[in-house]
């Protein structure tokens, strides 16, 4: 039987470098999952506690990697050069020096006395480059920098302009060459750990792996930064859309109320004066509030102010009942979501009904925490044909429907049911908002 086959020295080196890149990518991916670490990456202005957290979060795994190399001869886990330089490049020279000191201290006990000053120097080198280089240029550094390297180098030579991507590429290469030189100089005494190449090709591979071990975490972390920015933009767009829909309601409500007041000025001047007073109080409250979301308790209080105006207009013919479950009062709902529904019930369901009518506001909480809110009137009702066109006939219902879809998603809609001669019911199924605080304008 043939004996066991072993990898050649070059194959062992190549395998070690590939595993080294995998370890660095896994470490970067794990760290970015933590909220505090991701917060440090996103914001460039970092206080000392943030820099210390960053240094410890990166330094502790690097120390574990160096220890595994010393105790288990697992060379792929030693990322002292790349980690110290990366820490300085992202968080500044002192953070880089701290990480370098953490990674360079354990080898001293193995007789590698050059390891500590070299690792600290790598941290300061990354931090110094950070002070010189534009911050966005650092985040644009990626493993794909090699694809346009010849164009960048030619542009630097012809235009006499510094291309920071080339500088960022050359810095870890220079540090790796320095480590190779120092390691070879004291190779007999093992004063500094390095991966010795056997040829120019393997040396090129070592240099490439060093660059990629720096560029890969930056690419991973920059993707997290971009994702955060996109989420912030989505929040801003959502807030702007909600603001636009909410501002659409107020003029609509104001126009309808002023029309009602104008019809009463000659025939019932005292009633018109009282309506103006009530309206001014309601508008003053609306102008003071900038909340997009309120509790159901506050929304019902706002509805009461609106109904006070409508009761004055219609007199005792308009009756309002509330069947509100107490466990729904603190649920967060969109501001001004019920007023258009009540206004629609009065205008289209009760205004033309002989003998007035009744509006019932009913809430119930489901087992999953959602709240069902219904506005029911016993007015004229609508036929199936009119019901299908209800959202296209005016601002109020369409606005409510659009706000629900914008806030909660396309599956959340305003539901209408009606029967001619018996009335109409508008139903909202409000999901629980997973918000730590209110969203304001």
CATH number of domain containing 338:
3.30.565.10
The more confidently predicted of residues 441 and 85 is 85
Give percent of the chain with pLDDT exceeding 90: 25
What pLDDT, on a 0 to 100 scale, did the predictor assign at position 235?
65
Indicate the helix (H) or strand (E) that contains 334: strand 332-334
In a domain, 249, yes or no: no
Q: Give the pLDDT band (50/70/90) at residue 34.
A: confident
Residues 173 and 318 in one domain: no
Structure tokens that stand for 17 in this block: 């470098």
Predicted pLDDT of residue 125: 95
pLDDT of residue 382: 83
Which range of 266-270, 281-285, 412-416 scores highest in mean pLDDT? It is: 412-416
Residue 271 lies in a domain: yes
Q: How many CB atoms sit inside 10 A of residue 172's CB?
A: 26
Residue 238 counted as domain residue = no
Same domain (yes/no): 210, 331: no
Q: Pairing between strand 318-324 and 357-365?
A: parallel
180 sits in which H/E element: helix 164-185
Residue 252 lies in a domain: no
Q: Quote the pLDDT of residue 213.
A: 93
Say whether both 194 and 308 belong to one domain. Answer: no
Mean pLDDT on 23-43? 87
Same domain, 47 and 157: yes
Whether residue 103 is predicted with pLDDT greater than 80 in this model: the reply is yes
Task: Check whether residue 87 and residue 185 sit in a common domain.
Answer: yes
333 lies in the same domain as 216: no
Domain span at residue 391? 265-430
Give the Cα-Cα-Cα angle 12, 13, 18 (nearest 5 degrees). 100
Listed residues 215, 231, 247: the one ending a domain: 231
Say yes or no: 55 and 165 in one domain.
yes
**210 and 269 part of one domain:** no
Q: 62-66, 148-152, 188-192, 339-343 — which one is most confidently predicted on average?
A: 62-66
253, part of any domain: no
pLDDT, tens only, 104-163: 999 998 888 899 999 999 999 999 999 998 888 888 888 877 777 777 777 777 777 778
Most confident of the following: 62-76, 258-272, 358-372: 62-76
**What mean pLDDT is predicted for residues 274-285?**
76
Q: Has residue 3 been placed in a domain?
A: no
> Is position 13 within any domain?
yes
The CA distance from 31 to 28, in Å, is: 5
Say yes or no: 293 and 194 in one domain: no
pLDDT above 80 (res 436) = no
- With 0.75 as the threshold, say if the pTM is over it: no
Q: What's the per-residue H, E or C state across 239-284?
A: HHHHHHHHHHHHHHHHHHHHHHHHHHCCCCHHHHHHHHHHHHHHHH
| Residue 60 pLDDT greater than 60, yes or no | yes
pLDDT digits (tens, 9 = 90+) for 414-427: 888 888 888 889 89
Q: 217 and 362 share a domain?
A: no
Q: Work out the pLDDT band at 177, boundaries 50, 70, 90.
A: very high
- Percent of the chain scored above 70 by pLDDT? 85
* Residue 350 lies inside a defined structural domain of this protein: yes
Alpha carbons within 13 angstroms on the beta-carbon side of residue 157 total 6
- Which helix (H) or strand (E) segment holds residue 306: the answer is helix 296-314
What is the chain's mean pLDDT, rounded? Answer: 81
**What is the rounded distance in angstroms from the CA atom of residue 201 to the CA atom of residue 207?**
10
- CA gap 14, 9 in Å, rounded: 9
One domain for residues 294 and 199:
no
Number of domains in the chain: 2
Average pLDDT rounded to a whole number, residues 19-30: 92
Q: Are residues 393 and 270 in the same domain?
A: yes
């Amino acid at each position: 039987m043939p004996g066991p086959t072993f990898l050649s020295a070059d194959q062992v080196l190549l395998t070690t470098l590939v595993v080294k890149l995998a370890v660095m990518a896994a470490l970067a991916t794990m760290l970015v999952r933590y909220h505090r670490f991701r917060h440090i990456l996103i914001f460039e202005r970092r206080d000392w506690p943030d820099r210390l957290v960053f240094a410890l979060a990166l330094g502790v795994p690097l120390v574990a990697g160096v220890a595994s190399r010393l105790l288990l001869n697992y060379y792929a886990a030693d990322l002292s050069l790349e980690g110290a330089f990366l820490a300085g490049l992202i968080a500044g020279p002192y953070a880089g020096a701290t990480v370098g000191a953490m990674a360079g201290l354990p080898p001293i006990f193995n007789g590698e006395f050059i390891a500590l000053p070299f690792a600290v120097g790598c941290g300061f080198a990354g931090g110094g480059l950070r002070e010189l280089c534009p911050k966005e240029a650092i985040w644009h550094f990626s493993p794909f920098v090699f694809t346009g390297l010849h164009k960048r180098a030619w542009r630097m030579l012809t235009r006499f302009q510094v291309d920071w991507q080339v500088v960022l590429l050359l810095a870890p290469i220079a540090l790796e060459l320095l480590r190779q030189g120092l390691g070879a100089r004291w190779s007999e005494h093992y004063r500094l750990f390095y991966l010795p190449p056997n040829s120019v090709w393997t040396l090129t591979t070592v240099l490439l792996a060093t660059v990629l071990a720096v560029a890969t975490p930056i690419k991973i972390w920059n993707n997290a930064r971009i994702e955060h920015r996109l989420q912030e933009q989505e929040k801003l767009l959502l807030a702007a859309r909600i603001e636009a829909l909410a501002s659409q309601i107020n003029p609509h409500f104001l126009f309808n109320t002023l029309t009602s007041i104008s019809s009463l000025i000659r025939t019932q001047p005292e009633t018109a004066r009282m309506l103006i007073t009530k309206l001014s109080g309601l508008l003053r409250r609306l102008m003071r509030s900038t909340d997009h979301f309120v509790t159901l308790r506050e929304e019902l209080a706002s509805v009461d102010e609106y109904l006070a105006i409508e009761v004055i207009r219609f007199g005792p013919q308009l009756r309002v009942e509330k069947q509100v479950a107490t466990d729904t009062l603190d649920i967060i709902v969109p501001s001004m979501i019920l007023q258009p529904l009540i206004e629609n019930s009065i205008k289209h369901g009760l205004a033309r009904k002989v003998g007035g009518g009744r509006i019932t506001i009913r809430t119930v909480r489901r087992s999953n925490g959602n709240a069902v809110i219904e506005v029911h009137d016993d007015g004229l009702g609508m036929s199936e044909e009119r019901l299908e066109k209800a959202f296209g006939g005016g601002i109020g219902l369409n606005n409510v429907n659009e706000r629900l879809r914008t806030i909660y998603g396309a599956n959340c809609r305003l539901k209408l049911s009606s029967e001619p001669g018996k009335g109409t019911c508008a139903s909202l199924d409000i999901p629980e908002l997973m918000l730590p605080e209110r969203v304001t304008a």
